[in-house]
Amino acid sequence: MRRRKKRPEEHADEAWLLPYSDMLTLLLALFIVMFATSNVDNQKLQRMGKEFQAIFSSGTGILDKGGDSNLAMNIQDANNSVVKSTAADMSQSVIEEAQMNEIKKSLEEEIQKGGYADKVKVALSDEGLDISMQDVVLFNSGEADVIPAVYPLLKQISSILNNLDNSIKVAGYTDNVPIKNSKFRSNWDLSAMRAINVMNFMVDTGGLNSKNVSIQAYGEGMPKFDNSTAEGRAKNRRVEIIIIRKYAK
C-alpha cells in the first residue's frame, strides 16, 4: 500500500500584521492630536511637537524583528515613511492651529477696544484665519480710499500679523448694486481698488512683508448674505484679510 506523501505544512501569511501595527500607531497619533487641540498653550504644543516627531524618527515598527521577506520589508519601509511624514505634518498643523487661535483672540480684543465688534468679524476656516471688515469701517460710500479713522485698527492688525511667514490674501467684495462713474467702471473695479488700498496701507504703514501679501477682487460675484435686503447688502460690501494655513487642518 502506497503511503501518501505528507503535504508541507502551510504557514499563514503574516505580512498583514505590518500595516496593522502601523495603523495602531497612527491611531495613537490621532488621539495625541485630539488631546493637543484642546490646549492652546504654544510652549506645551511646541514641546509636544518635538517629542512627537522624536517618537517616530527611529523608523521602527512593532514587528520589525519578525519580518524577513523582501515584501514585508518594503511594506514596513513604506509604512514607516508615511508614519513619520504624517506625524510631522500633524504636529506642525497642531502648532499652527494653536497659533491661529491665539492670533484670533488678540485680534478680537483689539477689535472690541476699537468699538468695531459689530462690523469686523474674525473666524477660523479650513483655508485659514479670516478677518472680515464691512466697507463702512474702511471707506466712504462708493469710494476706495481708506479713511483715517480706521488707521489705528489696521496698524494693530498688521502688528499682530507681521511676525508670520504665512501667505496673506486681501480680497474685495461688493453688493449687487451697479456702479459706473468717472472712477470705477464696475463693482469689480471698486472691489479691486479697495483691496489694493488696504494691502498698500498694511504693507507701507503696517510693515507687512509685501512678498507674503496678494489681492483678489470678486465684485458682487461671491455674496455671503442676501442681496435682497439692505442688511445683507451692507454685509456683502466688505474686505477680507485671510491668513492662509501652511499645513492642512
**pLDDT, position 63:** 45
β-strands 238-244, 128-134 pairing:
antiparallel
CB 241 within 8 A of CB 198: yes
Domains present along the chain, CATH in parentheses: 17-95 (no CATH), 115-244 (3.30.1330.60)
Reported as a single tens digit per residue, the pLDDT across 144-194 is 999 999 999 999 999 999 989 999 999 999 999 999 888 999 999 999 999
**pLDDT, position 18:** 54
Q: Is residue 83 over pLDDT 60?
A: no
Q: Indicate the pTM of the whole model.
A: 0.66
Please write down the long-range contacts of 219-222, taking CB distance under 8 Å and 24 or more positions apart.
219/172, 219/173, 219/174, 219/186, 219/187, 219/188, 219/190, 219/191, 220/173, 220/174, 220/175, 220/176, 220/187, 221/188, 222/173
Overall average pLDDT of the 94-104 stretch: 92
How far out from the chain centre does Cα 71 lie?
38
Reported as a single tens digit per residue, the pLDDT across 33-52 is 666 555 445 555 566 566 55
